[in-house]
Structure 1
Amino acid sequence: MSTPPFTLAGIDHVVFLVDDMDRALKFYHGVLGCQPGYSYPAMGMEQVWAGNSLIVLWDTSHPGAASAVPPVAGGRNVDHVCIATSPFAPDDLRAHLAAYGVEIEREAQHGGARGMGFSAYIRDPFGNKLEIKGPAEYPDGRAQP
C-alpha cells in the first residue's frame, strides 16, 4: 500500500448541526467567546473561531442545509470532522485513497481555519465523514502551511 502524500497538521474544523442559528451564535460568541469566522448564508452556515480552529454551525432548519439533515430526527449532531494536512498534490491524494479502496465523495475549494484550500470528503469504515484539507492556496499557486 502507499503512504499518505501529506503529514497531519491537526483538526481544522468540526461541523455541528443546529436548528436555531441565533441561539447557537449567542452560545458560541457569548458563552465561549468565539469570534466570527466565514459566513455561508446561502447554506445556512456560520463559522466561529475557537482559538486557531473553527467550529462550523450548520442550521438544519435552513433550506440550504438539506444535505445535512439527518434521516431520523436526533439521529446525529456532527456532520464531519476536517483534518488539516501539509501541502499535497490532489492527484497523489486520489491515487493514495484509491489504493485503499476509499472513495472520494466530493472535492471542493473551501475556507477553513488556515484559509481557502483544496478539500476531499471521504468516509471512514464506520460511515463517519472526514474532510481532508490541504493548506491555504494562493492565486499564484503557492500553498501555505
Structure 2
Amino acid sequence: MNVKKGVPGLRGTDHIGFTVPDIDEAHDFFVEVLGCDHVYSLGPVKPSGNWMSTHLNVNDDAVMHEIRFYRCFNGSNFEVFHYSSPDQRFLQPRNSDVGGHHLALYVDDLDVAMAYLESHGIQILGKPTHSIGASEGQRWVYFLSPWGMQFELVSYPDGKAYEQQAETLLWDPRDGSSAPSASAGPSKN
C-alpha cells in the first residue's frame, strides 16, 4: 500500500501573495497588460494589539491599505497587497537573494507574447533561452513588472524531455484541466 506523505488533504497551490508599492499600477499591469480578472478587494486592514506580528510576522503598526485578488486563466490565483509599515523595505530581491522569487506564466507562443509585452513598454531581460537536459523542449525569458518584480514567460508546446521517462509529471498548464476564467476563452486540449 502506497501511503502519501505530507500535509493530509493537500491538493495544491491556492494563491501566491506578494506586496506591491502601488496597487493601481499593479492592477493595470495584471488586468490591462496580462489579461487577468480582478475578482474582489479587501481592506483597509489594521487590527489592534499584536495581531499583525502574531499572524503575519510584520510590524504591529503595519497597515494593509488594500488587498486585491486576481484570477489569471488556469493556475494559481494572485493575492496582491498594498502595505505601509514603519520598517518597510522597497528593494526588490534578486533571484540570487534569500527570498528571491519570480512568477512564471505559460504562453502558447513565446515570440508573440514577448512582442505584445514589448508593445506595452514592458522590459524583457535578454533573448529567449532554450532549456537543456530534463527541460529540453522549453523556451523561456524573464521580464519585469512596472515596479521591478521578476516574471517569466515559458513555453513548451511539444513538452519537455523529462516527460518521456518520469513517473510523476509536473502540473502542465497546456492540458486545460482547470476551468478557465471568463476572459480566458476555451481550454486548449
Report the structure number with the largest CA radius of gyration. Answer: 2
**Higher share of residues assigned strand:** 1
Larger relative CO (CA 8 A, sep 6+): 1 or 2?
A: 1
**Structure 2 length as normaliser, TM-score?**
0.31
